[in-house]
Structure 1
Amino acid sequence: RGRPNIVLAGHAISGQANNNGNDGTVARFGWKAQNKSLLLFSGEAYNVEMGITNELFQTERDETPSCQFSEVPNDVTKTDAKTLVEGISAIEKFAFFARFLAPPAPSRDTPGGADSIARGRKLFTDVGCALCHTPTLNTGNAAVAALRNQSVNLFSDLLVHDMGPGLADGVTQGQAGPREFRTAPLWGLGQRLFFLHDGRTSDLREAIRAHRSGSFLTFNPSEANAVIGNFSKLQDNQKQDVLNFLRSL
């Protein structure tokens, strides 16, 4: 359900798949890879992020016991619909939309120029970032031809890693504990304004540094400590190359 440990500068980098609690299938979607499908992810997002109950998540986040007139769930399959599209629930439509979005198109020369981006990409691998932020994965034999056997440059292994006490959020989902998070895909990073699971910073360099927490003297330091140590040893111009590469994605 994961991969063997990789030891880098004395630090173990592992990675485990999270599993659905009901049927044990591998889950991939969400900050902690807690959902096994885009449909389940969509239903959770509708309920948790927007407060819209649906057929998968039927309970309000904050119930009002005396309320007798609010239909629950808010979003349902419309059995009296006149067309197939009308009958599909909102979370299903949202999942379809997400499934068929085109991947972000990386820039070849912005920011910093093509040479800087190329150097940054090599350094990204050299310091160890690619051990977890896997540049490319391949899809399987999907039912939809457009999704079948495709190379996907998402920069993630889709596994859950222990990120140490500094990023811990006090939340457990599936087998992923408070310190564990799925490797965040980096594609489209150049279009983001805030970073990390809680959006705590808009500074990409600070987001990188935040991957490091704990030490050999603490229980289970972040798996990224050695990698961030390697990054910290780079010259300033080399660090800028890495940042330019990340911002080009």
Structure 2
Amino acid sequence: MSLAQQVAANLPFLRRYARALTGSQSTGDAFVQATLEAALADEELKASLDNGRIPLYRAFNKVWSSAYLDVPHADDLAGEHEVGAQNRLGSITPLNRQALLLTTLEDFSPAQAAQIMDMSTEQVEGLVAEAVAEIDREQATSVLIIEDEPLISMQLEDLVSSLGHEIFGTAATRSQAAELLGDKTPGLVLADIQLADGSSGLDAVDDILEIASMPVIFITAYPERLLTGDRPEPTYLVTKPFQEQTVRAAISQALFFGSSKPMG
């Protein structure tokens, strides 16, 4: 595989990570672009990118670490959800968030995350523990689950409840999701893409976002349908089959960056 093909294969995942880290696709993409520009200007760095995801994420980390403190003030990049992220940056430190994302959303081992962050494995594990403690203090919300597989739906209900959130409702189709909406709207949506009657979770989410704004996490076996850069913010992605820890991290990140609504 050529260098260009190697980078292209990993780029959607780096963009996903950058988005979760910064709270905005536009800001995340700016850091990704800066990373690629830095790599092209450095022959040694460019050569290292042929060795998989770790060197690419390590290169991104160097760019992010040199500038992340300025992100809340960067050009007033102005979406509602990014403003929510900026307002919460003081409550969860960037390094903690980064360690958590690398070891859950991106599925690196603590040792691999340590390589990326230029730290020891013990330091990364400590940062993850701190992040979890910070996240546990986040405000609870109500969660709508759109999932057509009953066992997975039940698993998600148990997971959401264990995190202290309320179940807004469950739906297996686009029409069922629409029927659940009334005077109240959920603070978070977990949605599959391919639903029971052939309807689309993407369309169901679009219906909901026309009524109110809230974070959305897609949990799907078809991630390629979302890794295009075309979806409206805020979109988070967990690939099936999933680890519960990954879903927990995605929920925490979505609530951290999104404009979640309180229960009631």
- TM-score computed with the length of structure 2 as normaliser: 0.24
- TM-score computed with the length of structure 1 as normaliser: 0.25
Larger CA Rg, structure 1 vs 2: 1
